Amino acid sequence: MTDTQSSERPDPMLFLWKVERRFVDAEQTLNIIKGADLAVWPGQSVALIAPSGTGKSTLLQMAGLLERPDAGEVFIGGKPTVGLPDGARTAIRRHELGFIYQAHHLLPEFTALENVMLPQMIGGLESGEARQRSTELLRYLGLGERLTHRPAELSGGEQQRVAIARAVANRPRVLLADEPTGNLDPATSSYVFETLLSLVKVTGLAALIATHNLELASRMDRRVTIRDGVVVELN
């Protein structure tokens, strides 16, 4: 038990403990993250607000098991991951982590429904169940009439909602997002963001969302930043 946890709470779903990340070039060692701690509990949304160059992307990469920290540990669902072989880390990313990026990265030749079904079928789900789960998700996100539309036939906000559905289709425990509405106009961004936060609450995801938008950050449960390589809570 750490001072970031409470005896009245279950373990955090995502827990970065004393993580460090440094990069070495020919002239110097850059200590980007210097022993940072961060806990995110089920159903909780945490805004990561940090200027470029402070280690925001590096922290997200470590949380998503895309980079290994040089020290410390990353716990997913209470289980340590740093020492696991690459295959095991890939399996965790596939089944327990969901990712949303600023660009939706939808496959243009597939419909909205098929884009959400694909990662589930790759994960081993039978196509009928994948179709049912994808349909329910897209309807929840207000896209019930757009199931058979390809990305080019969807608006920017609709495309990003399909990307959100795809990210949570495998029922991950943790959702990581990097400027998920950064490419949208303010009104569309606000709407898409509200649907995302609603989904976090309904599904019990632990969500870490990087954003430069302070208004959107204010809607989340907690706000943190990175100062001098450590994570600091904001009021």
pTM equals: 0.89
Q: For position 102, what pLDDT does the model report? A: 82
Q: What's the token pair of residue 103?
A: 């660009």
Question: Percent of the chain having pLDDT more than 70?
Answer: 96
Can you tell me the mean pLDDT for 128-156? 94
What burial class does residue 70 get, using C-beta atoms within 10 Å of its C-beta: 0-12 exposed, 13-18 middle, 19+ buried? middle
pLDDT tens digits, 9-42: 678 999 999 999 998 877 888 889 999 999 999 9
Q: Render pLDDT for 176-198 as a digit per residue (tens, 0 to 9).
A: 999 888 888 899 899 989 989 99
Residue 2, pLDDT score:
43
Residue 3 pLDDT > 50: no
What pLDDT does residue 177 have?
94
H or E element at residue 39: strand 29-40
